[in-house]
Amino acid sequence: MHEAVARIAEALRGTSFEGKTFLVGGAVRDELLGRPLKNDLDIVCEEDVTRATKILWESKVAETLPVTYPRFGTAMVRVQGCNVEFVTARKESYSEESRKPEVQPATILEDAKRRDFTVNTLMRDIFTGELRDPLRTGLSDLKDRVLRTPLNPEETFFDDPLRMLRAIRFRWQLGFEYSQDLDKALQGQADRLRVISAERIKDEFTKMLGLPDADQCMRDLMQTGLLDQFAPEFRPMVGCEQGNFHHLDVWEHTLLALKNAGNGDIVLSLAVLLHDVGKPPTRTKDTDDRTRFFGHETVGETMSRTILKRLRFGNQIEDQVALLVKNHMRLNSMNEVSASAARRIVRDLDTELDRWMAVIEADASALKPGVRALDLAQVRARIEEVRTATPPSKLQSPLSGEEIMGLTGCEPGPTIGNLKDALSEDVIEGRLAPMDKDGAKARLMEHWRNESQ
C-alpha cells in the first residue's frame, strides 16, 4: 500500500472512520494496471472528512493545514509528499448552465455512480487493503480495457462535461476502447463543454499533448466536435488540400508532424500543432493551378495568439509559440544557410533555437515521402557553429541608444533606432566585430552622414 495511505490509516485507526474510508480512483486503477503510482490520491469516506483531516493535522501526519470546502464535502491535505483529497461520499445534481453541483451525503454505491468511469470507481479499504467494486463492473471493464460511464454517458457527461475530454485522454493514455454508446454520446454532448472554464479545458488539453499518442487525441477531439468548442480555428484545416510537396491535407499533415515531434515539451507540441493553422485562410491558386499559402506563417502567428489567449496559456508560452509559428517557414527559400543568415537566426530565435529546429524537422518529416528541399543537417551544423562562436546577446549593436545619442547629439526618436539597427546589421553581415565599440563608433558616423543626407 502507498506509504501516505498507510500513515493515514494508522492515524485514523480505532476511530469511526475505520471500515468507512477507501482509496479510490486513479491510484487503485493504476495499481491494478501495473502503472506507476502518482503523488495525487483520492480518498472517499462515509463520514465527515473535515473531521478526518483535522485528526491527521493534530496527529502531525498531515504536512499542511487542511483546506476544506464544506459545500462540496471535500478537504485537501498533504501527507508524505502526496496531495490527498478527502471526499465525503456524496450524490450530486447539476443545473443546465453550471458545472457546480448541489451536493448531498450518500452511500459508497451512490458515490460510485456519480464518478466519471467505472474503472475509476474501484476502491481499497485503507485499513484492510480489501478491494471493492461497488458497481460490479469496474474490474471486468478494467480487464477488458473498456472505458464505460457508471450511468448512461449522456447523463455522466451532462453532469461534468470535462469528462468528455478525460474520456479521450484516458482512451489513449491507458490504451482502452470506448464502450459501445460512449463515442456517440461524446458527439451528442460536445456543445455542453461551454460551461467548463478555459483553465480546466487547458489543463486537459495540455495533458493530452503530453502523451505519446497526442496526435490520436487531437483526431478524437476533431471527430467528436469537442475541438470546435474551444478552438474552432482548426476545423478548416480538415480537407484543406495542399498539393506540391504534400500528400496530406493540412490537418492530417499537422497530426503526422505532431506525432513525429515527440512528446514532453508543451511549447514544442503547441507550436507544431499550430504551425499551419494560418493555411486555410491564405489558400490560393496561382496561374499554373498550384496551391499557395502566401503569408500563412504571419496569419498563423496571430491566430495562435488568439487560441492560446483564449485557453489562458499565459504570456510566456504565447510568445514562445507565436515566435516559432511566425518563423517556421524561414528556411523555405534557402538552398543553404549563409553565415549572415545563420547569425540572424541565432539572434532572432535566441533561446527558442532548438525548438525552432525541432518544429522545422517535424514539419519536413510530414511532407510527401522523398521530399526534402533543404539539408537540415547542414542547417543545424551551421547554426551551431555560429551560436558557439557568437552568443545571441552579442549579435546586437555594440552601442546603446544612449551612447548613440551622446555621439551624434540627436534627440530620442526614429533616427536613433535606425542607426542602432544599422549597426546590428553590420554585426550580422560581418562588417563589424561583435562588441567592437571603437569600430562601431566609426561605422556610426558613416551611417549618421547617410541618415542626414
Same domain, 29 and 52: yes
Residue 398: what pLDDT? 83
Summarize the confidence of residues 290-298 as an average pLDDT.
90
Is residue 188 domain-resident? no
The answer to whether position 165 is within a domain reads: no
Of 117, 141, 165, the residue at which a domain comes to its end is 141
Residues 417, 336 share a domain: no
Q: Each residue of 83-119: pLDDT tens digit?
A: 999 999 976 655 555 556 555 667 899 999 999 999 9
More confidently predicted of 317 and 103: 317
Q: Is residue 153 part of a domain?
A: no
Whether 377 and 266 share a structural domain? yes
Higher pLDDT among residues 156 and 96, named by residue: 156
**Single-letter amino acid, residue 348:** D
Q: Taking the CB of residue 177, how many other CB atoms lie within 10 A of it?
A: 13
Number of domains in the chain: 3
Residues 315 and 444 grouped into a single domain: no
> Looking at the structure, do residues 10 and 130 belong to the same domain, yes or no?
yes
Query: How far apart are the C-alpha atoms of 217 and 263, rounded to whole Å?
Result: 13
Tell me if 210 is assigned to some domain.
Answer: no
259 and 357 together in one domain = yes
Q: What is the mean pLDDT of residues 367-387?
A: 78
pTM of the model as a whole: 0.87
Strand partners, 93: 102
C-alpha to C-alpha distance for 429 and 339, rounded to whole angstroms: 8
| pLDDT at position 257 | 97
Q: What CATH number does the domain containing 113 carry?
A: 3.30.460.10
Residues 78 and 34 in one domain: yes
Res. 75: pLDDT tops 80: yes
Q: Is residue 206 part of a domain?
A: no
Same domain, 232 and 350: yes
Judge if 364 and 239 occupy the same domain: yes
**What pLDDT does residue 212 have?**
97
> Strand 146-147 relative to strand 177-178: parallel, antiparallel, unpaired?
parallel
Is residue 175 one of the residues assigned to a domain? no
Least confident of 79-88, 191-200, 374-383: 374-383
Residue 91, pLDDT score: 64
Say which range, 34-48, 310-324, 410-424, has the weakest mean pLDDT: 410-424
Mean pLDDT of the region 221-225: 97
Residue 374 in domain: yes
Write out pLDDT tens, residues 193-217: 999 999 999 999 999 999 999 999 9
Assigned domain for 186 exists: no
pLDDT at 436 over 90: no
Among the candidates 394, 426, 444, a domain finishes at 394
- pLDDT digits 0-9 by tens, 344-372: 898 899 899 999 999 999 998 898 876 66
Burial of 217 (0-12, 13-18, 19+ CB in 10 A): buried
Q: Is the pLDDT of residue 441 over 80?
A: yes
Mean pLDDT of 25-29: 96
CATH number for position 246 = 1.10.3210
Please tell me the number of Cα atoms within 13 Å of 410 on its side-chain side: 22
Same domain, 408 and 296: no
For residues 205 and 203, give the distance between their C-alpha atoms in angstroms, rounded to a whole number: 6
On whether both 304 and 411 belong to a single domain, the answer is no
Same domain for 440 and 352: no
Q: What integer pLDDT is reported at residue 401 of this predicted model?
A: 87
User: Could you tell me the residue range of the domain that residue 245 belongs to?
Assistant: 226-394
pLDDT at 103: 59
Q: How many residues make up the chain in this entry?
A: 453
Average pLDDT of every residue of the chain: 90
Last-in-domain residue among 141, 173, 201: 141
